[in-house]
């Protein structure tokens, strides 16, 4: 598996059925009634103002028993992070950058030095004042090789730990090794939550941050609890506490929700059958997060036949993304047209080659691959992987491509299949800035470049884009980068799926963006 928090994926290891047992979920989802294929899924979470107080109970998927509260770690306990910590910069509800612990930021004329003005009057959970020393330490901690942070691949090429400056307690100066006009957006990643100066050895256990909740208890791969931090700089959160439970599988989590034993299913994308049962129940409903997950069919460009760009182009032209959305998502999403930048991103370009099975046949014949037959690996790890694979299989038949769908074990899918088989199905969460998306997943040599695509012209284009300080020109360059990925890259993007989140009908204020929901404003009605 990629970082065990490969954005959008968890370590599928040892939590067992103990989590379900601790909740008492003993009845089967399949035994529920009251829903059918005609059940309409809600477009949004319940509205209204939550009551003050109460405890939100969250069921989360199983995690590694080595998971930690250190946000920089590849084994970070993702669901706790937004409760315990703040970033310097966050993604606002409008998708734009917004202040968090940094009130403002600016660069020099060449975007080689960035200055962050930090918020005053902020305290950590242990009462210590937040200063620029903590912000500088956090960046050094992320890029430290000993931390092995997934975000180091993005930030380490830019930041020299020795050059970070703190002219005063509320100013952080970050000189970059090369110009980057998008640098603040890279600090919105969930590995970039701010931790106290010198806390590398302890923060994984203590969870001391500046967030709206402070840690009461935490067990790796097990239960935990956070309580409201009354002195939070943005005000006390609505809730009194949040309790976390690790529950082994989606059915057990859904059963616990339907039984009224939990209030929210974190990191769970409900399949449509389960979502209909949940939406039809008296206790629970579904919140839809538009285009929240990016689904991919990566072709490994270092393995035949995908070493030939003509074969990659044929694979893309062979299928109809609109068909995949209709069949695999039942309309709950958007066609990707092989562009990894989400359609609601301001930098997204809509231009793309049209579905053309005859041209796909022509390209395959040119490449000596007429009548191509190949295995496409999938698993039950995510409920949409196999429907996507089968929809692609059906659509590509028109180009004479024979796809053999192979189902692999879920618990070893990201260790035995991902980045090892020439063609497989996977997914990521959307929400990462365009520069990070391209750098992390498409740039030559990145550890998360799941197609192993390497194009020096693309890498140079990225360098030009991030160095460009004129917004219009930078937008044009990122548009060119999208075109290169579409036309030459190894990643097919059939669809962006709406995430279907199971929540109690008592939950109010559920609004998800930028990898997390609003921990400060979420609450319960009639708690």
Rounded Cα distance, 426 and 457, in Å: 26
- The CATH label, of 3.40.50.1110, 3.40.190.10, 3.90.78.10, 3.60.40.10, for the domain at 18-25+41-85+211-283+505-524 is 3.40.190.10
Asked whether 265 and 285 are in contact (CB, 8 A), the reply is no
Q: What does the pLDDT read at residue 527?
A: 55
Rounded Cα distance, 452 and 410, in Å: 23
pTM for this model (two decimals): 0.84
Rounded Cα distance, 77 and 58, in Å: 13
Q: What does the pLDDT read at residue 436?
A: 87
| Domain span(s) for CATH 3.90.76.10 in the chain | 89-200
Q: What does the pLDDT read at residue 39?
A: 64
CA neighbor of 525 nearest in space, from 232, 238, 230? 238
Q: What does the pLDDT read at residue 23?
A: 45
**Two structure tokens written together for 156:** 């380490």
| Domain span(s) for CATH 3.40.190.10 in the chain | 18-25+41-85+211-283+505-524
Per-residue pLDDT of the chain (527 residues; tens, 9 = 90+): 344 334 333 332 223 333 443 443 333 454 444 455 556 777 777 888 999 999 999 998 878 889 999 999 989 998 999 999 999 999 887 778 899 999 999 999 999 999 999 999 999 999 999 999 999 999 999 999 999 998 998 899 999 899 999 999 999 999 999 999 999 999 999 899 999 999 999 999 999 999 999 999 999 989 999 999 999 999 999 999 999 999 878 889 999 999 999 999 987 778 888 899 999 999 999 998 888 889 999 999 999 999 999 999 999 999 999 999 999 998 889 999 999 999 988 899 999 999 999 999 999 999 999 999 999 999 988 889 999 999 999 999 999 999 999 999 888 898 899 999 999 999 998 888 899 899 989 999 888 899 999 999 999 999 999 999 999 999 999 999 999 999 999 999 999 998 889 999 999 998 877 567 899 999 999 85
Q: For domain 89-200, say whether CATH 3.90.76.10 is its number.
A: yes
The residue with tokens 């959307």 is 430
Element (H, E) at 471: helix 471-488
**Residue 305, preceding peptide bond in cis (omega within 30° of 0):** yes
Q: What does the pLDDT read at residue 431?
A: 80
| Domain span(s) for CATH 3.10.105.10 in the chain | 291-498
Give the three-class secondary structure for 106: strand
CB atoms within 10 A of CB 526: 9
Tell me the torsion sign for CA atoms 383, 386, 391, 396. Answer: positive
CATH annotation of 291-498: 3.10.105.10
């Amino acid at each position: 598996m990629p970082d065990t928090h490969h954005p959008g994926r968890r370590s599928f290891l040892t939590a067992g059925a103990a989590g379900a047992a601790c909740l008492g979920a003993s009845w089967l989802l399949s035994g529920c009634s009251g829903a059918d294929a005609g059940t309409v899924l809600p477009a949004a979470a319940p509205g209204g103002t939550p009551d003050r107080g109460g405890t939100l109970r969250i069921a989360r998927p199983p995690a590694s028993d080595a998971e930690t509260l250190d946000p920089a770690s590849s084994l970070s306990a993702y669901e706790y992070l937004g409760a315990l910590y703040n970033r310097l910069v966050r993604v606002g509800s409008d998708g734009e950058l917004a202040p968090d612990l940094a009130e403002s930021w600016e660069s020099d004329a060449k975007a080689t030095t960035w200055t962050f003005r930090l918020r005053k009057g902020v305290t950590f959970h242990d009462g210590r004042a937040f200063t620029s020393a903590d912000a500088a330490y956090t960046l050094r901690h992320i890029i430290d090789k000993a931390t092995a942070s997934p975000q180091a691949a993005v930030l380490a090429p830019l930041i020299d730990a020795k050059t970070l400056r703190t002219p005063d307690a509320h100013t952080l100066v970050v000189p970059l090794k090369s110009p980057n006009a998008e640098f603040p957006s890279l600090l919105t990643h969930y590995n970039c939550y701010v931790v106290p100066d010198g806390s590398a050895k302890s923060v994984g256990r203590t969870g001391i941050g500046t967030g709206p909740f402070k840690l009461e208890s935490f067990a790796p791969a097990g239960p935990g609890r956070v309580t409201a931090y009354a002195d939070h700089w943005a005000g006390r959160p609505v809730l009194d506490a949040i309790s976390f439970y690790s529950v082994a599988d989606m059915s057990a989590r859904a059963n616990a929700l339907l039984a009224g034993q939990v209030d929210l299913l974190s990191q769970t994308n409900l399949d449509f059958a389960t979502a209909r049962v949940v939406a039809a129940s008296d206790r629970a409903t579904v919140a839809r997060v538009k285009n929240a997950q990016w689904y991919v069919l990566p072709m490994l460009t270092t393995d035949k036949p995908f070493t030939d760009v003509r074969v990659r182009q044929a694979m893309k032209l062979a299928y109809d993304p609109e068909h995949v959305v209709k069949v695999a998502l039942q309309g709950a999403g958007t066609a990707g047209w092989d562009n990894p930048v989400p359609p609601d991103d301001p930098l997204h370009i809509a231009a793309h080659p049209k579905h053309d099975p005859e041209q796909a046949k022509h390209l395959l014949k040119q490449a000596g691959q007429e009548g191509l037959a190949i295995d496409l690996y999938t698993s039950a790890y995510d409920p949409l992987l196999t429907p996507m694979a089968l929809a692609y299989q059906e659509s590509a038949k028109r180009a004479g491509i024979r796809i053999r769908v192979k189902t692999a074990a879920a618990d070893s899918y990201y260790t035995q299949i991902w980045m090892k088989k020439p063609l497989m199905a996977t997914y990521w969460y959307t929400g990462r800035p365009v520069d990070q998306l391209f750098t992390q997943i498409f740039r030559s040599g990145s550890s998360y470049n799941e197609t192993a695509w390497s194009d020096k012209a693309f890498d140079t284009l990225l360098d030009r884009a991030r160095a460009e300080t004129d917004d219009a020109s930078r937008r044009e360059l990122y548009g060119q980068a999208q075109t290169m990925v579409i036309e030459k890259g190894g990643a097919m993007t059939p669809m962006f799926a709406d995430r279907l989140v199971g929540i109690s009908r008592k939950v109010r204020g559920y609004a998800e963006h930028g990898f997390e929901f609003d921990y400060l404003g979420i609450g319960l009605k009639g708690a």
